Structure 1
């Protein structure tokens, strides 16, 4: 009897062991916030344990792919709008809609525009965790030396014909090796010490940081509608935007594209080689930690439409369809998307949480650390647009990256290059098969 009692007690102990939910993310700066969320969650849910792993951006997606193939992927992972369509089409993501309906989750708590990106055909593939916009980072010391005021920086206007007041500011910020500015006689465009404006890459199919805000404020749109089997990259308004950007390096106002591509716009800014760069809000901590000079964020310029424009993008947490602990994974995802966890994230001031009102809390933390990010919140109140949604995004990315690089490097004019690339993109989409229903 004693032996039997011992066996029963042992069995009870074994069944009482917490279930482990594996969670993977790529941003190491956010790790402390999510470790705190995990600790809080485990205290409230003693039957669950959260095991967090982290890998850098490139390694992250490779590790996920290997995990899907090897049947060892994390139960829950941070997902990106540019990646999830392929995963959903291949049945790798759990549809969260039934869980949301069952538990009566309040979807109105999220910043407008974030949730629909993760929906398709009535299915929900992720719950919003944060959002981002794009602004301009400006070296204030260099601006003062050029006689450019903060008020001017905050009210710049742009057009693709002569660049507007935005290009006039760029000219004043650009200095050659002899100390002459681009708006002064004798400026040497071949020997530039500080470029007034710099992008660091072609931006691929979205151009989120590099060109989309210019193009959209010029009237461009990517697609007739999300998931449409047609893109509009052959729009003349995009062509003239990219031709204008390409012309900056020819005039010495930006570095040659190949040089900038290898260095990166952000690194050139930190090194004092670029006075103004467009960057996403996810870079707030980078500049706060790296810049050894006074700088600020200012809003993007007003375009020919009379509006500023910025992509409003957002990440989400998704559940792997192969998870053996889907119910436990859902409890963790629901907590990640809750005010409790996102308030912890706001307190770390690294990103803007998805729940309404918490971005302002994150901004207050950033301000205390010396980063004035009000311009990024302003851009969220301007004309915003979602990332384009399409199947075969990886192939579209490569096609558009190649075409736009050829324009920015001066090898082709934008009109013909974009028309040829757009034809290939639309041909690819029109022969694509409808998305498969995901596993639940």
Structure 2
């Protein structure tokens, strides 16, 4: 249930009045094409999702002949730059795919419309989505700012041939564990998969950590503030959490020794030769490329990358579960994208009709059947599981985490942009080896001061 759900009816009356005002004063992209037809602009960044969402648009337009939707896809970095420019110029798209790291600032700047203030979206039952996904998009003011579209978790992608060459089988990757003291069975696997230029493996006496040909674990850089696919799974499986609340926490926990130990262990792989150095891969490391070029044997990455990994040319890729940590089980970050409505739109009610459709069973089933991501609706997720399975891809390492409740939310707080600007360079320094993880305790004071 969404937070402040009981007050939705009361807020809806006020919000609808604001939406009507916005419709008369905003200068968004939506335009009238004729007396009976108008156009909405919809943006997304994932090229893999463009085709299934075009099918959703086609289905929506068939049901709503008075609305034409123009869908545009941009690369991730260009996407946010164009969106920012659109907000500044008052030409942002009517509807766009939103991210948890961005929307708090958009809400603060009054750039988004409250979905509970619009008739079509207010009628959507948040409980029809996977547990917690709608809550992530409820602002501190109680407004609902994103219609859930999918969810993602983290698992291990691995090169099946490299696993076999190391004398290992997929069964050896089941029930792995790690700890910050000796690394557990996961570190043993990483060492075994690491190979130097002379063919010596990381668990052999003659192994040279300064002349590595294949790293056991692919690098994704430092992971920055969230460490979503790089390090969050390590710290999360110790029992650590980003903040003092699932959503809209008021205090970060970067001063927790469990986080420090996790980071020191993981980035300690560099000196051992199991992980490429920062100097080698830079700040924009591409783990998928490392696996595809056989520079690395394994990668911890997100479910949205399923097609990117499994379609690597000349590489057979398997998927395994994350290792259990000191807490006794694995933990993955649980993130969810959503569709938001820009306050710039000239057509809030029509945009709401479209967003409600994007979150509907009809659209999410289309996306599920396309086997590109894991949709936000449970029944649509099951269709995606089946569709992936028909291609020989078992996505259970991603979905089992949600069913078991072994997840933690992406950090949703005020001032995330400023916090990220402070924390990411520090995380880079830890990866480089120029900073001890325990010094994050000092930065934590500055981070929490931003939230006061």
In structure 2, distance between residues paired with 1:351 and 1:422: 34
1:385-426 Cα distance to aligned partner (Å, 9 max, x none): 11111111111112111111111111111102x122212211
Distance apart, 1:101 and its partner CA: 8.6
**Structure 1 regions of 5+ residues with no counterpart?**
1-12, 431-440
Distance apart, 1:258 and its partner CA: 2.5
- Tell which structure's C-alpha radius of gyration is larger: 1
Query: Equivalent residue for 2:415?
Result: 392
| 2:267 counterpart (246, 252, 258) | 246
Check if 1:21 corresponds to 2:40.
yes
In structure 2, distance between residues paired with 1:203 and 1:395: 16
| SS, match of residue 70 in structure 2 | strand
1:232-275 Cα distance to aligned partner (Å, 9 max, x none): 10100000111111210101111112213354222111111111
In structure 1, distance between residues paired with 2:285 and 2:79: 23
| 1:61 counterpart (58, 61, 80) | 80
| SS, match of residue 161 in structure 1 | coil
Check if 1:162 corresponds to 2:182.
yes
Query: Equivalent residue for 2:145?
Result: 125
Q: Where do residues 15-414 of structure 1 align in structure 2 (5 Å cutoff)?
A: 16-99=35-118, 104-120=123-139, 121-225=141-245, 226-261=247-282, 262-382=284-404, 383-414=406-437
**Structure 2 regions of 5+ residues with no counterpart?**
1-31
| SS, match of residue 315 in structure 1 | strand
In structure 2, distance between residues paired with 1:426 and 1:420: 10
| SS, match of residue 275 in structure 1 | strand
In structure 1, distance between residues paired with 2:309 and 2:260: 31
In structure 2, distance between residues paired with 1:14 and 1:413: 59
CA contact (8 A) 1:153 1:298 kept: yes
Distance apart, 1:46 and its partner CA: 0.9
In structure 2, distance between residues paired with 1:65 and 1:263: 25
Distance apart, 1:278 and its partner CA: 0.3
CA contact (8 A) 1:118 1:126 kept: yes
| SS, match of residue 451 in structure 2 | helix
In structure 1, distance between residues paired with 2:152 and 2:122: 28
In structure 2, distance between residues paired with 1:420 and 1:253: 29
When the two structures are superposed, what TM-score results if normalisation uses the length of structure 1?
0.92
Q: Could you list the runs of 4 or more consecutive aligned residues of structure 1 that deviate by over 6 angstroms after TM superposition?
A: none
| SS, match of residue 229 in structure 1 | coil
CA contact (8 A) 2:222 2:427 kept: yes
In structure 2, distance between residues paired with 1:338 and 1:101: 11
Query: Equivalent residue for 1:437?
Result: none
In structure 2, distance between residues paired with 1:204 and 1:188: 29
1:315-362 Cα distance to aligned partner (Å, 9 max, x none): 111111121100100000000000001111111110111011211211
